[in-house]
Amino acid sequence: MNLLSSSLARTEVHTLLKRLGLRDSQSGVFHEEWARPAGEEIEVISPADGQLLGAVTLGAEEDYDDAAYVAQKVFPKWRDTPAPKRGQIIREIGDGLRLAKDDLGTLVSLEAGKILAEGKGEVQEMIDIADFVVGLSRQLYGLTMHSERPGHRMYEQWHPLGPIGCITAFNFPVAVWSWNALVAAVCGDCVIWKPSEKTPLTSIAVQHIVNRVMERHGLLGVFTLANGRGSTVGERMISDRRLPLISATGSTHMGRRVAEVVGERLGRTLLELGGNNAMIITEDADPKLAIRALLFGAAGTAGQRCTTIRRVLLHKDIKAEFVEYIQRAWTQLRIGHPLDPQTLCGPLIDSGAIEQMQQGLADARAQGGEVIFGGEAVELDYEGKPLLGGCYRRPALVLANSSIPITKVEVFAPILYILEYEDLDDAIRQQNGVPQGLSSAIFTASLRSAETFLSHRGSDCGIANVNIGTSGAEIGGAFGGEKDTGGGRESGSDSWKAYMRRQTVTINWSGDLPLAQGIQFDL
């Protein structure tokens, strides 16, 4: 494995990967034991400096089928394990993640380009989900209902679905897996994971941590990993009738394909797709609070979050003043290597993301928008040396209006469109006037404006925040959105129900056989 990296010394990177169980010749598939996958070998390049982190051999369809077979084989044993016991096993996974937090967070930064605080924060999300799931293991509640028939009892109960498929994206290479896999597992399901081909190393590192725990309990196969191309492993997974549920996070284009194939076989989908999130700033908003939230929401993760703020709606009376505030904040944004603690904005994931950003800016100009800041390449140094090969671009600001088609599109890059509105009703119309419906925010000191925004005639998004940005959702609430965002819900609240099947039960203890609705059918 060539471990040249300007971010860490060669020996440091090698030691980091070794501690996480990664090897020179790395298989991207796990079922009962490390296999020799039939797919191609890919190089894993760090977007921070363009250097090779390692090589991973991807799986092919037959490797996926092996993983699915193992998941099916262990499912009855896992299903029969009492839910509180399942919770205790997942607690041990959380403990393993705690021990590996610094190393795994660093690997997230090197492989995905997220700043170190976000890399470690993503691992912390996994730990928090594990803690959440321990409590959930004793709260998989069903309802009891009063029967209209005397001497009858009605209730509902929830059963595991079976093995499920989990497809995740590069921008949250490990946290989104935990939102799905740990919750599904405590519900009694087995989980087959297909991560992004852009971030395979982090998935393998997490799989090692999980395997150590599951092996202690004789439960290897509850969690399996199938790194592979979407065109092979992904297509095989979504068409597999052995999987009653596919949870998929990614683009709306990808989600439509998943929904089509899974729907054709009458399977279930849980889709977390694109976002085109807006922040409304009213005349009475606190400028410092709003600008701080806007900066993190629009430029954090280099604009590569589904919850990234892509549009800011400014009241016409404050627009000129706020544009100055925004430009001033953007000029002070520290762009740099993700391991540098002073960095606030790291690199885009790869050259394809750079091309997408440049095309988005070109489209904005062609459609009448004005790029007033950013978009250019950034030359950097790290630890006193030139930083070559990274995917760095300065976050861009574009003066636009809602009639410009590009503002309706999710360009997965740090581009913020600055829009103007007349009154709150106009702002809400503009915010809702896009195909996506994930996250939304309003900054205001007005109770009336806040409550209007949160009412049935306000935001049409799955997430609506007041005086908080669109990013940084807590795990205790259900995460997801409407419209082209897919309608799925993950993580907290009662999202666990997506991973189980509901059964309505009626027990007759009366000795008679009265029929519902008073129907008489006597011999």
Instruction: Return the half-sphere exposure (C-beta side, CA atoms, 13 A cut-off) of residue 331.
Output: 8
C-alpha 331 chain-centroid distance: 29
Please indicate whether residue 306 is annotated as part of the active site. yes
DSSP 102: H
Point out the catalytic residue in the list 111, 122, 125, 272: 272
Contact at 8 Å (CB) between 435 and 408? yes
| 281, two tokens | 């700033």
**Rounded CA gap, 85 and 291, in Å?**
46
DSSP output for 460-479:
-SSEEEESS-SS---TTSEE
Contact at 8 Å (CB) between 27 and 34? yes
Distance (Å) of CA 214 to CA 28, 138, 183, 217, 218: 19, 20, 16, 5, 6
Please indicate whether residue 321 is annotated as part of the active site. no
Return the ∠ at Cα 110 (arms to 195 and 298), rounded to 5°: 80
Contact at 8 Å (CB) between 277 and 417? no
Is 40 buried (19+), middle (13-18) or exposed (0-12) by CB count in 10 A? middle
**Rounded CA gap, 83 and 91, in Å?**
12
DSSP 34: B
Point out the catalytic residue in the list 306, 345, 391, 461: 306
DSSP output for 213-263:
HHHHTT-TTSEEEE-B-IIIIIHHHHT-TT-SEEEEES-HHHHHHHHHHHH
The contacts of residue 285 (CB under 8 Å, 6+ apart) are 443, 444, 445
> What is the end-to-end Cα distance of the chain in Å, rounded?
80
Q: How many residues does the chain have?
A: 523
The contacts of residue 216 (CB under 8 Å, 6+ apart) are 92
Widest Cα–Cα separation across the chain: 94
157: left (phi over 0), alpha (psi -120 to 50) or beta: beta
Distance (Å) of CA 199 to CA 54, 116, 156: 11, 16, 41
Contact at 8 Å (CB) between 233 and 226? yes
Contact at 8 Å (CB) between 152 and 513? no
- Which residues are marked as active site? 272, 306
